[in-house]
Amino acid sequence: MPAFTEVADRVWVRRVPSYDVNLVVVGGERGLVVVDTLASAAEARAAIAAIGDLGAGRVVAVVNTHDHFDHVLGNGTFRDQYDGIPVHATEEAAARTDPAAPPADTTFASAAVIDLGDRQLELVHLGRGHTAGDLVVRVPDADVLLAGDLVEESAPPALGRDSYPLDWPATLDLALGMTTSRTVVVPGHGKVVDRRFVEDQCDELRTVAETIRDLATRGVPEAEALASAEWPYPADALHHAIPRGYAQVPRTPRRLPLV
């Protein structure tokens, strides 16, 4: 299994081959916070052993960036190992998490802070995108942003059946407002990136949103949308994006022509 890589001061990333997902550990004087818990109890146990090898302290909290199984199914394993530590997430993500995970028990609507003594972690829900309940984690003193699946490096952004294609670009714009030219951005999947990468991905997502909005408002049938425009991503990445986007476009009532 892969080792942790320290990408900034006391911020370690473990890139797990299964789903190419990232588990992140942030350290402070009061202990460690784990961001996302992987897709199974076995993966979580392996991560716990690797965290012990770091020798950096005890895990005192978990954060779920959103509710998808590859980010939450290790929650119970971490809670069992560390005496029922709190699991943080947005209210929306917790409500949508599989009960078998178990879901987060410490939730918020817009923003929260985890105080590690010598540093604070800012948890912020910036809006809908990959899901309805995405959060980002900012580590201000290290200039690090943990973006969850609002940013993906190893594949096109996952515009899935619970995504919000028309909202996603504005949400990423807000995330970019939390970065500098030197910010280390950790995506949900793939290698660590920088602000420029996020800007480019935001532009691509904006193209998807604007194209869907244009086609829908011009009356192009949903079934013909894929073949009716140029897209920044391959067809298989847009399987759910087009119907999800069309569903977000307000319906314009038909009016009789004026004589």
pLDDT (tens, 9 = 90+) of the chain, 259 residues, equals 578 999 999 999 999 999 999 999 999 999 999 999 999 999 999 999 999 999 999 999 999 999 999 999 999 999 999 999 999 999 999 999 999 889 999 999 999 999 999 999 999 999 999 999 999 999 999 999 999 999 999 999 999 999 999 999 999 999 999 999 999 999 999 999 999 999 999 999 999 999 999 999 999 999 999 999 999 999 999 999 999 999 999 876 555 555 4
* Joined tokens for residue 215: 């086609």
The superfamily in CATH containing domain 5-248 is Ribonuclease Z/Hydroxyacylglutathione hydrolase-like (3.60.15.10)
The CA angle 149-11-61, to the nearest 5 degrees, is: 75
Q: Determine the residue type at 20.
A: D
Judge whether 26 and 35 are in contact, CB under 8 Å: yes
Nearest to 164 by CA among 108, 240, 65, 68: 240
Nearest to 132 by CA among 102, 91, 169, 99: 91
* CA separation for the pair 239, 91 (Å, rounded): 28
- Residue 71: exposed, middle, or buried by beta-carbon count in 10 A (0-12, 13-18, 19+)? buried
pTM (2 d.p.): 0.95
